[in-house]
Amino acid sequence: MVNRPTKETLIWRYIGLDKFLDLLLTSTIKFSRASIATDRNEISWILENLKRNPDFEKHSEGAKLFIESLRRTTYISCWVENKDESRSFWASYLDLNKQGVAIKTTVGDFIDSVDWNGKGFDYQKIAYRSDFTIEEIQSQIIAVNTKNPAYKDENEIRFSISGLNELSTPFDSIEKIQENFRQSNNLGNVLSRKVDLSNLISELVISPYCSPWQREIIVRLIQDYQPGISSRITESTIKE
C-alpha cells in the first residue's frame, strides 16, 4: 500500500530554537528513532489493533518481535502537509513559549537537498486508521506509515530510513529477526544527514510569539551562518 505524495506537495516543519540552531550550525537533518517518539504506539499501532483479532495469537511471536525490531531500526523525519502556515502547529510542535521557526519546502526539494549517503529511503503520506487485516502485518510500509486517527490533524508526510544495511522482513526466520533486534542495540537515537539549506528552504517563518530581540538574534545568526537563506525569511501571518 503505497501512498506517496507528489514531489510538488508543500510541507512544513515547526521546530524550537534549539533544533533550529542545530540545523543552522551543522546543516544536518536529524532523523529520530521511532522507538523514542512521543507517540508510544509509533509503528506498533498496527500491532495494538491486531491483538484484538482472534487469529492473531498464532502469529503473535514473530509479529511482536518484527514490529519491535522495526521500531528500533527505523528513523523518521516528520513534516506537515499544508499550503499555509498553521496557528495550531506553533502550539503543537514548539514548547509552551512557542518560540522557534517554521520551514516551508516541497517533498521534492527535501529529497534533493538531503545527502542520503547512497542509502535507500522512503516517503509516504501517513494513513490514519484502526482496522487492519492479519496479512497487513507483513508490510513494512503499512507498519511504518499508519497512525492512530487521533493524530489525523497532523496531516503528516513522513520520510524514513533504516539504521541497518539489511532490514529483516516478516517472511524471514525468527533467528534473522532476532539478529536484527540484537544489532539494533548498537544504534543511537538519532541519524544525521547533511542537507543543503539553500535548496531545502523556500520560506522561513519566525514564530510570531518570539519577542523582537529574539527575532533579531535569529535573523543575525542566519546572516552569519547561512546568508544564502536570509532572503527566505518571511513574516508570519499571525498577529497576536
Give the integer Cα–Cα distance in Å for 25 and 191. Answer: 16
The per-residue pLDDT of the chain, averaged, comes to: 89
* Per-residue pLDDT reduced to its tens digit, 71-89: 988 999 999 999 999 999 9
* Per-residue pLDDT reduced to its tens digit, 94-142: 888 899 999 999 999 999 999 998 888 999 999 999 999 888 888 889 9
Instruction: Give the rounded percent of residues in the chain with a pLDDT score beyond 90.
Output: 65
Q: What pLDDT was estimated at residue 184?
A: 64
Q: What pLDDT was estimated at residue 152?
A: 95
- Closest to 97 in 3D by CA, of 17, 151, 22: 17
Give the integer Cα–Cα distance in Å for 163 and 111. Answer: 18
Q: What pLDDT was estimated at residue 86?
A: 94
Q: How many CB atoms lie within 10 A of CB 133?
A: 12
> Are 201 and 104 in contact, with CB atoms under 8 Å apart?
yes
* Per-residue pLDDT reduced to its tens digit, 142-193: 999 999 999 999 999 999 998 766 655 555 666 666 777 676 677 789 999 9
> Are 151 and 13 in contact, with CB atoms under 8 Å apart?
no
Q: What are phi and psi of 187, to 5 degrees?
A: -95, 150
